[in-house]
């Protein structure tokens, strides 16, 4: 049993061992091992040329990584906190996402941008955000997020091995949660990076979640089972592309769907998923697709973030409303 944070550390270590072109770069990732210690001891073991402490300049980190990727390296950039990614936003959407397209396929950017995201840790302003929709909306970027240690270990390696740029969101409130991880399992047999996973099978309604909300959805399913309702929980894992066939198969069986995420509901991923389910599964639906999201406000102060974050009660309320139609 290891934590999600430690699983990421092991995954990064294995990637560094397997490919000398992999380099890690970011603020305090070297000697400190990162704010969350995800890169702990990697600089000591692989040297300052492979694990690089950068200046506090996110645009510079991503711009440098673009050049490295063009020259054949596989840079893994850490954005220290989700709210710090915006100074690099122009680099990501104007260069990282478009270089392959603009070069007519001649240039690839095998670049991973790691971003701790979400709330639940009582952090100060700019340290708890959910910016995933910005990047999932951008053609040319692949966007994924892990929800448990086993996926963290394999998904970070799969992202690094991908020849396209990947935004890798890490649920910071889950860094300390433990799970079983097979550190010796070959990556070739791992669950596909862009496939959704059934985290809990069920027959009465489908609850779709990703990242930090998967645990909330699973807890809601446990509580609902006490009332005789079997909820199927699907961990989306990939936010761009989204594994719609897995979603549609589940919803066609259950007839109901609830989408859960921390980000605001307005123009969020839940809206797109709900629209696609309605288009493809209309004649199977017993009720409208419902969303449980953060509120359409700036992320609140830490002392009231629990009022903002979707919780078990809000998910169960949506399930009840779905059955009330």
The reported pLDDT for the residue numbered 260 is 98
Question: Is residue 149 within 8 Å of residue 180, measured between CB atoms?
Answer: yes
pLDDT in tens, 279-321: 999 999 999 999 999 999 998 888 899 899 999 999 999 999 9
268 and 136 inside one domain: no
Residues 26, 142 share a domain: yes
In this structure, are residues 236 and 209 in contact, taking their beta carbons and an 8 Å threshold?
yes
| 17-47: pLDDT as tens digits | 999 999 999 999 999 999 999 999 999 999 9
pLDDT tier, 324 (very low <50, low <70, confident <90, very high otherwise): confident
The answer to whether residues 130 and 217 belong to one domain is no
Domains identified in the chain, total number = 2
Angstrom CA distances, 2 to 7, 8, 147, 181, 217, stand at: 7, 10, 14, 7, 22
Q: CA-CA distance, 308 to 67, in Å (whole number)?
A: 40
Among 189, 205, 232, the domain boundary falls at: 189
Query: Are residues 38 and 178 both part of a single domain?
Result: yes
| Residue 121 confidence (pLDDT) above 90 | no
Paired tokens of 61:
């980190």
Active site residues: 127
Q: Is the pTM of this model over 0.85?
A: yes
- pLDDT confidence of residue 31: 95
Indicate if the alpha-carbon torsion angle 31, 153, 95, 105 is positive or negative: positive
Q: What is the pLDDT of residue 189?
A: 82
One-character DSSP codes across 5-39: HHHHHHHHHHHHHH-TTEEEEETT-SSS--TT-TT
Residues 26 and 114 in one domain: yes
Could you tell me the CATH number of the domain that includes residue 214? 3.40.50.920
Q: Does pLDDT of 325 surpass 80?
A: no
Q: Which of 127, 160, 189 is the last residue of a domain?
A: 189
269 phi-psi bin (left φ>0, alpha ψ -120 to 50, beta other)? alpha
Per the CB < 8 A criterion, the answer to whether 245 and 276 are in contact is: no
Query: Is there a single domain that holds both residue 220 and residue 306?
Result: yes
The pLDDT value recorded for residue 123 is: 86
Write out pLDDT tens, residues 191-228.
Answer: 999 999 999 999 999 999 999 999 999 999 999 999 99
> Residue 155's pLDDT is what?
98
Residues 154 and 46 in one domain: yes
Nearest Cα to Cα of residue 72 among 24, 113, 20, 26: 20
Token pair recorded at residue 121 = 């840790």
Per-residue pLDDT, averaged over 79-88, amounts to 96
Give the structural domain span for 274.
197-323
Instruction: Please report, for the domain that includes residue 62, its CATH number.
Output: 3.40.50.970
């Amino acid at each position: 049993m290891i934590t999600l944070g430690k699983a990421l550390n092991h995954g990064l270590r294995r990637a560094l061992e397997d490919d000398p072109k992999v380099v890690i770069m970011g603020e305090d990732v070297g000697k400190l091992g990162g704010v969350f210690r995800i890169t702990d001891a990697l600089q000591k073991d692989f040297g300052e040329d492979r694990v690089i402490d950068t200046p506090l300049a996110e645009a510079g980190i991503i711009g440098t990584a673009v050049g490295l990727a063009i020259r054949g390296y596989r840079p893994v950039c850490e954005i220290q906190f989700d709210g710090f990614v915006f100074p690099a936003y122009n680099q990501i959407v104007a260069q990282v996402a478009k270089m392959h397209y603009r070069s007519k396929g001649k240039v690839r950017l095998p670049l991973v941008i790691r971003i701790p995201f979400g709330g639940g840790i009582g952090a100060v302003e700019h340290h708890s955000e959910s910016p995933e929709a910005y990047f999932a909306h951008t053609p040319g970027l692949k966007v994924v997020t892990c929800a448990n240690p086993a996926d963290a270990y394999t998904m970070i390696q799969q992202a690094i091995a991908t020849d396209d740029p990947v935004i890798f969101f890490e649920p910071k409130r889950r860094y300390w949660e433990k799970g079983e991880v097979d550190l010796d399992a070959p990556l070739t047999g791992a669950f596909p990076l862009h496939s959704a996973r059934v985290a809990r099978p069920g027959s009465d309604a489908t609850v779709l979640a990703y990242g930090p909300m998967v645990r909330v959805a699973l807890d809601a399913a446990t509580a609902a089972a006490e009332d005789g309702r079997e909820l199927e929980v699907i961990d989306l894992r990939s936010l761009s592309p989204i594994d719609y066939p897995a979603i549609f198969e589940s919803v066609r069986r259950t007839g109901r769907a609830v989408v859960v995420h921390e980000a605001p509901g307005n123009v969020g991923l839940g809206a797109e998923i709900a629209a696609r389910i309605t288009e493809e599964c209309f004649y199977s639906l017993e009720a409208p697709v419902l969303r449980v999201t953060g509120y359409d406000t700036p992320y609140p102060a830490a002392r009231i973030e629990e009022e903002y974050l979707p919780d078990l009660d809000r998910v169960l309320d949506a399930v009840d409303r779905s059955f009330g139609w």
